[in-house]
Amino acid sequence: MSSTEELLKRLGVFIDAGTLRLALTHRSYAYENGGIPTNERLEFLGDSILGFSVTDALYRDNPTLPEGDLAKRRSAVVSTRALAGIGRSLGIGDYIYLGQGEKLTEGKNKASILADTMEALIGATYVSNDIETARQLVMRLIGPLLKDAAALGAGTDWKTSIQELAAGRQLGSIYYAVEGSGPDHARTFVAVLQIGGTAYGKGSGHSKKEAEQEAAADAWRKLSGAEAKASAEGSAPAGAESAADDPKAAPSESAAGS
């Protein structure tokens, strides 16, 4: 377990020792240590603070945006994927108290655990300080995501977004070729998204679903970027990158919009 002083420095807030330890205590650790309190109550609190802070910022900064678009943007930045990304950038996983089972399966890198812990830390910041301090923490962490037009445009479900985009352009069927590597307790998956037999995006993760979402996000950004460039140049969207492998080869694992 790394020094929590370094963690607090990264967060830029004060959290008292007891509350901080509680925020970092996953239920798997609590179960193996006599049923001690977990971080789930703080997670519940932090989730509400996160939602309100982001909603308030979106409402104030986008006075003409309709409710549906505001909701979509909020969903994008408070999603498990977004929070897990923030958690990884801060190295939160090294500080979480996990049970032996979760340690063996690389729980410190799991998106759900990282996202839940981030919410617990937001709740802990409120408990140890006040609502304004917690809100400022949220905005430091989430602020950059609110300015990411690409992420906000697609929302959280990249697979649905890329499916809709591909269908709109009549690019062809979608397939995810997924390969796994590493031992069973620490598997890593790499997904290549093919549309109409052409590779458009690539992603990796600790689960097939996470790898596919990353591949879909990669493809969405490339296609959206090509569309924007083509629009600026007054020409048709540029084509995607050529597939590295034979596009007709059967993928090891495939899905069509699943």
Active-site positions read: 47, 119
Task: Give me the sheet containing 198-205, strands edge to edge.
Answer: 174-181, 188-195, 198-205
Query: Which 8-state DSSP code applies to residue 248?
Result: T
Residue 147, number of CB atoms within 10 A of its CB: 9
Long-range contacts (CB closer than 8 Å, 24 or more residues apart) made by 131-138: 131/49, 133/13, 134/46, 134/49, 134/53, 135/49, 135/53, 135/56, 137/11, 137/12, 137/13, 138/49, 138/50, 138/53, 138/54
Residue 44, number of CB atoms within 10 A of its CB: 13
DSSP letters spanning 143-176: HHHHT-HHHHHH-S-HHHHHHHHHHHHT---EEE
Phi-psi region of 72 (alpha: psi -120 to 50; beta: other; left: phi over 0): alpha
Pairing of strands 174-181, 188-195: antiparallel
Cβ contacts of 216 within 8 Å, gap of 6 or more: 158, 159, 161, 162, 193, 201, 203
Under a CB-based contact definition with an 8 Å cutoff, are residues 93 and 82 in contact? no
Q: Is 223 helix (H, G, I), strand (E, B) or coil?
A: helix
Q: What are phi and psi of 85, to 5 degrees?
A: -60, -40
